[in-house]
Amino acid sequence: MNGTSSPAIAVEGLTKVFGRGDRAVTALAGIDLSVDRGAVFGLLGANGSGKSTLVRVLSTLTVPTTGTALVDGIDVVAEPGRARARIGVTAQQTTLDQRLSGRENLLVLGRLCGLSRAAARRRADELLDRYALSSAADRPVSTYSGGMRRRTDIMASLILRPTVLFLDEPTTGLDPHSRNEIWDTVQELAAEGTTVLLTTQYLDEADRLAQTVALLESGHVVAEGTPQALKERIGVQLRIQLQELPTAPATQELLRAIGVVDLEVDEPSATVSGLIAAGSLTLPPILAALTDAGIGVRDIGLDQPTLDQAYLALTGGTR
């Protein structure tokens, strides 16, 4: 069963416990996930939340304790060899030989993957051309920038044209320019139909690239949805700049009474801000209540919370 209608990744009741007895560590505590074909799926979580373990199970490097995981419709435990033929993995640590050029690395890997010399050469040329590395293809990898190295790592995992690519924290330690290059590469891959499971600690990265994100905490998925939906779950941010700061306590009291929570005052800018549950209040009644109470307002607005704020709210702030 690996028709195009099945999800690219389907995980049910997945657990992974390392060790036994007193020393047992539950890395995955019952994960259910479904990733659509051609999607970028962001797996977010703090250190130790279980991201790498999940990727290791899905990429056949670790056997789960219980549960099932299908990649491209293939059971990774029952048929690891067939599953491996469908997946590419770009690990956190580079696997490139720094002394060899990008082209030589891709050729060696192509041969190791079982391609003929001619086929390996063709695929290396194709990848170097496609991912704009041709001009640096014959320099040793040790002379590459961090972004070029990561892109070559990604190319190495694409040699056998995987349908599902696992990218483990692809931009950790990169400068903003190199991060952008990797983001472009991920978007191109997804546009070509490759499913990408991206683990990251950067919420802006998930916000930018992923159609769906899952927040992992202590081996559990604590929230899942589009970045927009997760932001909406924590509501919208209300910001009121007052004409005079002495009215701040009265303003806070009034806002609390109509259901605004997490109130904060910024004295230098005479601004009171707080959170409104999504869809519960609009600006006109808030403004009317303030006017009726004789509170002078210089400016008022509603802001979308960032994915960072959603993450902190949804995971209990254990970033």
Choice from 33, 49, 273, 295 touching ligand ATP (CB under 6 A):
49
Cα 185 from chain centroid (whole Å): 15
Only segment of 51-59, 144-152, 175-183, 286-294 that touches ligand ATP (CB under 6 A)? 51-59
Tokens 């962001």 -> residue: 42
Written as one letter, the residue type at 118 is A
Least distance from ligand ATP to the Cβ atom of residue 48, Å: 4
Q: How far apart are CA 117 and CA 21, in angstroms?
A: 51
**Cβ neighbour number for residue 279 with a 10 Å cutoff:** 9
- Total binding residues for ligand ATP by CB under 6 A? 12
Q: Are 259 and 277 in contact (CB under 8 A)?
A: yes
Label the pairing between strands 9-18 and 220-225. unpaired
Q: Which of residues 187-246 bind ligand ATP (CB under 6 A)?
A: none
Question: 46 or 289: whose CB is closer to ligand ATP?
Answer: 46
Choice from 7, 30, 38, 48 touching ligand ATP (CB under 6 A):
48
Query: Considering the rule CB under 6 A, would residue 135 count as an interface residue with ligand ATP?
Result: no
Least distance from ligand ATP to the Cβ atom of residue 16, Å: 8
Closest CA to 235 of 188, 279, 180, 269: 279
Residue 57 in tokens: 């199970």
Least distance from ligand ATP to the Cβ atom of residue 65, Å: 12
Query: Considering the rule CB under 6 A, would residue 51 count as an interface residue with ligand ATP?
Result: yes
Contacts of 15 (CB under 8 A, 6+ apart): 26, 28, 29, 30, 31, 64, 65, 66, 67, 219
Query: Considering the rule CB under 6 A, would residue 171 count as an interface residue with ligand ATP?
Result: no
Least distance from ligand ATP to the Cβ atom of residue 231, Å: 22
Least distance from ligand ATP to the Cβ atom of residue 151, Å: 21
Query: Considering the rule CB under 6 A, would residue 93 count as an interface residue with ligand ATP?
Result: no
Binding mask 5-44 for ligand ATP (x = CB under 6 A): -------------xx-----x-x-----------------
Query: Considering the rule CB under 6 A, would residue 315 count as an interface residue with ligand ATP?
Result: no
Question: 50 or 274: whose CB is closer to ligand ATP?
Answer: 50
Tokens 């509170």 -> residue: 295
Only segment of 49-57, 96-104, 270-278, 293-301 that touches ligand ATP (CB under 6 A)? 49-57
Q: Classify residue 282 as exposed, middle or buried by CB count within 10 Å of its CB (0-12, 13-18, 19+).
A: exposed
Query: Considering the rule CB under 6 A, would residue 53 count as an interface residue with ligand ATP?
Result: yes
Contact positions toward ligand ATP, by CB under 6 A?
Answer: 18-19, 25, 27, 45, 47-53
